[in-house]
Amino acid sequence: MRVGLSMKSAHGFADPREGARVMVQRAIAAREAGLDSLVLGDHHAVSYGYYQNVPMLGRLLAEWPRTAGVLFLIPLWHPVLLAEQVATLAAIASGRFVLQCAIGAGDQFDGMGVELAERVGRFEACRDTVNRLLGGEEVDADAPYRIRSARISPIPRETIEVWIGGHVRTAVDRAARLGDGWIVGPDLPVERAMELLE
């Protein structure tokens, strides 16, 4: 069995620099303990202290030699920007890089100006576009994102695995159709996870 760390990016420090230092210390401790992987989550427009995943993981990758990954709530991201961020992080990473993604919920959608009712369509369109861009394709799209002749660089040297998260049957179906793996958060009871796995 391999054990990794999904690091919490929320903080309650009065000095945000102290919280960032603590995250770096945790990554070093995880590396020294021989953990297999390090991943960070994704939140936006929240009222509490929260470090954004891309710059924070970029910093942590300087301390991390093995599998790394980042979770994106992809309905809240433009697919070209997301593909560029993933490709850059994969180029920085010393080991394998994994893209984790979820559909998201809650007030974050209001804060980002995205309709909650559009999240499934945005998720699937973004996932497809990101996959094509990471594969080196030039992409045109009309809805829900208007994209013309988009390309990204660098192109990852290895195929990036996509793990899709969620706690309901439709999320498991989405992971089976669009992903390489299924992930769940720490609050899902084991019994429910086993039901969904079946």
Q: 106-136 pLDDT, tens per residue?
A: 889 999 999 999 999 999 999 999 999 999 9
**Whether the predicted pLDDT of 17 surpasses 90:** yes
**Whether the predicted pLDDT of 186 surpasses 80:** no
Domain total in the chain: 1
Peptide bond before residue 186 is cis, with ω within 30 degrees of 0: no
Rounded distance, CA 161 to CA 158, Å?
A: 9
Q: Give me the domain span that covers residue 151.
A: 5-197
Q: What is the CATH number of the domain that holds 50?
A: 3.20.20.30
- Calculate helix-pair angle for 190-197, 169-178, nearest 10 degrees: 50
User: In one letter, which amino acid is 181?
Assistant: G
Tokens representing 166? Answer: 């969620």
Rounded distance, CA 21 to CA 28, Å?
A: 11
User: In one letter, which amino acid is 171?
Assistant: A
- Each residue of 76-107: pLDDT tens digit? 999 999 999 999 999 999 999 999 999 998 88
**Whether the predicted pLDDT of 184 surpasses 90:** no
